[in-house]
Amino acid sequence: MPVTTEELNQEIKKRRTFAIISHPDAGKTTLTEKLLLYGGAIHLAGSIKSRKTQRHAVSDWMEIEKQRGISVTSSVLQFDYDGCRINILDTPGHQDFSEDTYRTLMAVDSAVMIIDVAKGVEAQTKKLFKVCKQRGIPIFTFVNKLDRFGKAPLDLMDEIEQVLGIRSYPMNWPIGVDGKYMGVYDRQKDRVELFAEDITHGQEERASEIFALDDPAMKQRIGEEACETLLDDIDLLDEAGEDFDLDKVAAGELTPMFFGSAMTNFGVQNFLEEYIRLAPPPAPRKSSDGLILPNDTKFSAFVFKIQANMNPAHRDRLAFIRICSGKFERNMDVYHHKSDKVVRLAQPQQFLAQDRQIIDEAWPGDIVGLFDPGIFGIGDTICDEGHKFDFEEFPVFPPEKFARVQAKDTMKRKQFVKGIEQLTQEGAIQLFQQAGAGTESYIVGTVGTLQFEVLEYRLKNEYNVDIILQMQPFEVARWLAWEDGSEVAPSGLRGIDRGMFVYDRKQNPVLLVNNEWALGWITDNNPKLLLNHVPFDRKEA
């Protein structure tokens, strides 16, 4: 039976799809896990840091992530809370994996920005915030690690405004002294929540008590000095602070601000409940056919992530899609714009990290993993056969680091080629071949050097291939074309010996050089040569 607009509207209202962004080690993965704890999706939280019990964060499923204690790929997690379906996309914080984070931000409706109370706004936070701002994504701020000494809350508010250019509205306010906060004051509900001592090291939900602001028992608990400081802070925020305006939040001009500690479950539940109340449901998406509304009854979605070998035993490959409109149903036939073919969406799955379950239906805002035999690419549009269009293209990051990569054992060339091509399709690396060279070796381009370590690790552990990796001196890549449209060949270029001439996977000519000076010399000596940071049919991030 066809889905109705009314059915769609009911399901859309329940959806919240967001990414968690921050500088490395600010607590993204820990907060993600604690949201799962309060959502009932897990019953015991395991911190990356707690090596005693050898437990690891649920969202860090790749073996290298467990060993290094960092996230190197975006995890997709779903759970239900208070009648809502929450889709969390936990992203890598390390700048070397910013491509994966950028693509993830294409699939969300809002973002949670985590700030370390001691470190404030850090470099990678600034970059990710800029991306959110450009995309018009509403941002919610969680000031983390209140169990440690850090900056004063008012100083952090000022820093966010000065560094990021966005005003903040504290939804709650910490009570107590730096590093030993006892609870928070909820400004919307005008009440105080005091937390019991954390005796489970953050593994279980933390008990708390609610008090009215004028309750003598509350004053007795926190002490007269802390009570007077709290009342003074409340007066200051009410008189000199911003007014809360949800329209400004939606426009990216105001960020609701929460104080807490993901490690000790301090303020996490309050944040989750307020986020669900305030965050936007699925939004319309730009396409070649104009805005696609979520409650359009015709199905549409796009691929934002591809992950090989989530289950190494089965060597599987999954394409993650963000549903944009209509109802998704298991085994439905859809039009795949890139291949111009109708494909069946079989084995649809949803995730709690690497744990998955087959689903029969999903709705706008939901993230679904599809078994991919190799037909999908990042940014691909799939839609109803009767309404063919393309969602806006994903921007491309120009590579800045390069290495020659080949298999140590020539007998394993087949596994090597398969592995490196599959990992390229995930979007973490860009693959080039030197003019005249075969597939014995490739030139691999990345945004950061840490990606080479991940590439080497995954080829060995997922494809059983040891590699020889030789870093190259190049730092600049430019796609090439002649003004008259004729074919670009190495023989027709002056000064080519100052760089390396390669082809990308679509056989587009690319020039790699050491620096901008060398590039300038080649440009001056080839005046009719056009150069671009990314392929000419794509846009730069």
Residue 65 in domain? yes
> What is the per-residue pLDDT for 312?
57
- Looking at the predicted structure, is the pLDDT value of residue 435 above 70? yes
Residue 294 in domain? no
Instruction: Identify whether residues 217 and 100 lie together within a single domain.
Output: yes
CA dist 429 → 292, 400, 405, 503 (Å): 31, 11, 12, 15
Counting the structural domains of the chain, the total is 3
Instruction: Identify whether residues 368 and 430 lie together within a single domain.
Output: no
- Looking at the predicted structure, is the pLDDT value of residue 161 above 60? yes
Phi and psi at 312, nearest 5°, equal -55, -30
Q: Which residues is 266 bridged to in the sheet? A: 261
- The pTM (predicted TM-score) of the whole model is 0.80
Contact 380, 274 (CB under 8 A): no
Instruction: Identify whether residues 125 and 176 lie together within a single domain.
Output: yes
List the Cα angle 26/32/37 in 5-degree steps: 130
DSSP letter at 351 equals E
Contact 416, 330 (CB under 8 A): no
Domain containing residue 344: CATH number: 2.40.30.10
* Mean pLDDT over each residue of the chain, to the nearest integer: 85
Residue 394 in domain? no
| Final residue belonging to a domain, choices 349, 383, 417 | 383
- Looking at the predicted structure, is the pLDDT value of residue 499 above 80? yes
Q: Model confidence at 72, in pLDDT bands (50, 70, 90)?
A: very low
> What is the per-residue pLDDT for 159?
96
Domain containing residue 100: CATH number: 3.40.50.300
Tell me the pLDDT tens digit for each residue of 258-299.
999 998 888 899 999 999 999 999 999 999 999 999 999 999
Instruction: Identify whether residues 170 and 253 lie together within a single domain.
Output: yes
Instruction: Identify whether residues 182 and 265 lie together within a single domain.
Output: yes
Least confident window among 21-35, 70-84, 138-152, 174-188: 70-84
Residue 292 in domain? no
> What is the per-residue pLDDT for 101?
74
Residue 540 in domain? no
| Final residue belonging to a domain, choices 212, 245, 278 | 278
Instruction: Identify whether residues 314 and 450 lie together within a single domain.
Output: no
Spatial distance between the Cα atoms of 396 and 464, rounded to a whole number of angstroms: 30
Residue 390 in domain? no
Q: State which of 84-88, 202-206, 374-378 shows the largest mean pLDDT.
A: 84-88
Instruction: Identify whether residues 431 and 375 lie together within a single domain.
Output: no
Instruction: Identify whether residues 94 and 126 lie together within a single domain.
Output: yes
> What is the per-residue pLDDT for 115?
95
More confident residue, 479 or 39: 479
Q: Model confidence at 502, in pLDDT bands (50, 70, 90)?
A: very high
- Looking at the predicted structure, is the pLDDT value of residue 164 above 80? yes
More confident residue, 223 or 44: 223
Phi and psi at 494, nearest 5°, equal -90, 135
Q: Model confidence at 52, in pLDDT bands (50, 70, 90)?
A: very low
Give me the domain span that covers residue 439. 401-532
Phi and psi at 414, nearest 5°, equal -65, -45
Residue 348 in domain? yes
- Looking at the predicted structure, is the pLDDT value of residue 458 above 70? yes
Instruction: Identify whether residues 315 and 425 lie together within a single domain.
Output: no
Tell me the pLDDT tens digit for each residue of 358-407.
889 999 999 998 988 878 888 899 999 888 899 988 777 788 899 999 99
| Final residue belonging to a domain, choices 383, 414, 445 | 383
Instruction: Identify whether residues 413 and 500 lie together within a single domain.
Output: yes
Q: Model confidence at 42, in pLDDT bands (50, 70, 90)?
A: low
Residue 448 in domain? yes
Domain containing residue 481: CATH number: 3.30.70.3280
Instruction: Identify whether residues 305 and 173 lie together within a single domain.
Output: no
Instruction: Identify whether residues 315 and 250 lie together within a single domain.
Output: no
> What is the per-residue pLDDT for 176?
86
Share of the chain above pLDDT 70, in %: 87
Would you call 281 helix, strand, or coil by DSSP?
Answer: coil
